[in-house]
């Protein structure tokens, strides 16, 4: 018997096999869960449908991957269409993963103060508001004791140079988690987030993850970086019936980096000035 036997859900935002959302999906599929997936829409001129193809390579071999449809997180109509597809396939759903974030590169790479008004709007709408939209439009198909999970990062709690405007978006996303947990709690719906350490995902590369890996390895209490599999296990646990008493939480999966108030053992690598 698997932890997800008889449970159905939707995972939004898998980009490729390095995605945290896919790491979570693999755990759920291995434990008997059934999942419907969305992918980033392809451009009309992309005859190869690259976005769909990358995700289909993962989901097609999985008998419990029940559908794969495009979804633009900036469109309520498209979000609603995914939820309707889930209703047709499953009736109700027991879990929902929101793995969606985006900022225009020119606004992400520049100083936060210099973020354009339009760039701020796009980044915030895609990376934070979309969680509210997804929760609202999924409300009618969420079962009792269901769970919503989103993916955040420590850059929403403390300044992480290079994360810039996305840190502002993640701070907003973290607040959305807590207020949604309050709103949906009476219906038995839990809302949580996983805050993962740096990983070589598509989003991570855009935020300069390679520069962070060495820092985390030397500063974290465990003296190492994390793996996709570790995040997958933690995320799937928050979606399972084993965490029924937990909502509004941000679970850090970062080898303990977030608890540090000083560089810790990293200081041992810095040559001390001679007296």
Give the residue numbers annotated as catalytic, written as ranges.
153, 163
Q: Are 147 and 235 in contact (CB under 8 A)?
A: no
Coil, helix or strand for 35? strand
Burial 235-257 (b: 16+ CB within 10 A, else e): bbbbbbeebeeebbbbbbbbbbb
C-alpha closest to that of 176 among 129, 119, 120, 243: 129
In the 8-state DSSP scheme, what is residue 158?
A: S
Residue with tokens 């999924």: 138
Please state, in angstroms and rounded to a whole number, the distance separating the CA atoms of residues 235 and 240: 9
């Amino acid at each position: 018997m698997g932890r997800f036997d008889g449970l159905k859900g939707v995972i939004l935002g898998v980009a490729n096999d390095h995605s945290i959302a896919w790491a979570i999906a693999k755990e759920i599929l291995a434990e008997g869960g059934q999942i419907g997936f969305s992918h980033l829409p392809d451009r009309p001129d992309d005859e190869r449908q690259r976005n769909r193809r990358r995700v289909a390579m993962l989901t097609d071999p999985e008998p419990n991957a029940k559908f794969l449809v495009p979804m633009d997180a900036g469109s309520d109509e498209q979000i609603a269409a995914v939820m309707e597809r889930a209703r047709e396939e499953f009736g109700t759903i027991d879990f929902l993963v929101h793995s969606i974030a985006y900022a225009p590169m020119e606004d992400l790479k520049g100083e936060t103060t210099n973020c354009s008004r339009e760039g701020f709007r796009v980044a915030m709408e895609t990376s934070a508001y979309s969680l509210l939209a997804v929760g609202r439009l999924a409300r009618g198909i969420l079962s009792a004791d269901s769970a919503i999970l989103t993916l955040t990062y420590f850059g929403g709690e403390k300044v992480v140079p290079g994360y810039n405007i996305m840190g502002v978006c993640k701070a907003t996303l973290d607040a959305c988690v807590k207020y949604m947990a309050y709103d949906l709690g009476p219906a038995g719906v839990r809302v949580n987030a996983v805050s993962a350490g740096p990983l070589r995902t598509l989003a991570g590369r855009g935020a300069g993850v390679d520069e962070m890996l060495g820092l985390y390895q030397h500063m974290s209490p465990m003296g190492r970086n994390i793996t996709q599999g570790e995040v997958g296990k933690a995320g799937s646990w928050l979606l399972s019936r084993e965490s029924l008493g937990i909502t509004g939480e941000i679970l850090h999966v970062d080898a303990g980096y977030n608890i540090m108030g000083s560089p810790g053992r990293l200081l041992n690598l810095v040559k001390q000035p001679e007296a």
